Amino acid sequence: MSAPPVVEVQGFDFWYGATQALFAVALDVPRHAVTALIGPSGCGKSTFLRSVNRLNELIPGTRHRGDIRLDGASVYRRSTDVVDLRRRVGMVFQRPNPFPKSIFDNVAYGPRLNALAREREIPERVERALRQAALWDEVKDRLDEPGTSLSGGQQQRLCIARALANEPDVLLMDEPCSALDPIATGKIEDLIYELRGSYSVLIVTHNMQQASRTSDYTAFMYLGRVIEYGATDEIFRNPRIPETEDYVTGRFG
């Protein structure tokens, strides 16, 4: 893998109470590329994704062993500012979750909260994020309207713009199209494809076609472990592990 890693995962185990969900996960997430996590339901994909920005810590009784590094520094070191970590590692969830604010204020929220720009610079940052999310032309005359007034697909792109406004190092996406219709899904997939080269994207998806279309690298997870990881073309055309071939060809999962 030639691209330098932005995230390095080293022997990472994770527990919910007494139940172990992740086992010795180890992989490097390349910078400025799209990496897909695939695998059957319950295999640990979302648990792993939420470990990168420590969202799992909001659940009582969780613990981990091993390490996850962002730009070479452990996200679990005691000095980590978790708020800043979640700015640097943005998150887009399965279902759109716009704030009960205007379209403009949804996107401006992060830069204002994190003091990333002066107030007079906020409009330019909002426009840039909305353009990156391929939403500007649809909402530029409606910025004062509630974010919840948008369609489902537009709301999801608004949530992506909200994350991009913080200029994150990594963008995590947990099944971002699962609640969307095929047309909206296509727009999100086009957007993910366009983000490569500018952002490091880590996406969880059950959709094999989506993984093959949008990602540069793919990790197959099964029973809490990364079974196989490599270039997407290799994973789908020439998998080394029988379980990987069975999954990507639809024999199970």
Domains annotated on the chain, with CATH: 5-248 (3.40.50.300)
Residue 103 CA to residue 147 CA, distance in Å, equals 5
Q: For residue 253, what pLDDT is reported?
A: 63
- Residue 146 CA to residue 141 CA, distance in Å, equals 12
Q: What is the pLDDT of residues 127-152, one digit of tens each?
A: 999 999 999 999 999 999 999 999 99
DSSP-derived 3-state class of residue 24: strand
Say whether pLDDT at 117 is over 70: yes
The predicted model gives 198-219 an average pLDDT of 94
For the segment 189-201, the average pLDDT, to the nearest whole number, is: 90
In the structure, what pLDDT confidence band is assigned to residue 252 with cuts at 50, 70 and 90? confident
Instruction: Please tell me whether residue 205 adopts helix, strand or coil conformation.
Output: coil
* Per-residue pLDDT tens over the stretch 15-42: 999 999 999 999 999 999 999 999 999 9
Neighbours of 73 (CB within 10 A): 11
Task: Tell me the HSE value of 180 on the side-chain side, using a 13 A CA sphere.
Answer: 24
Q: What is the pTM of this model?
A: 0.92
From the CB of residue 229, how many other CB atoms can be counted at a distance below 10 Å? 21
For residue 67, CA distances in Å to 27, 73, 146, 155 come to 11, 10, 40, 34
Contacting residues for 180 by C-beta, under 8 A, at least 6 apart? 152, 153, 156, 188
Model confidence at 116, pLDDT cuts 50, 70, 90, reads confident
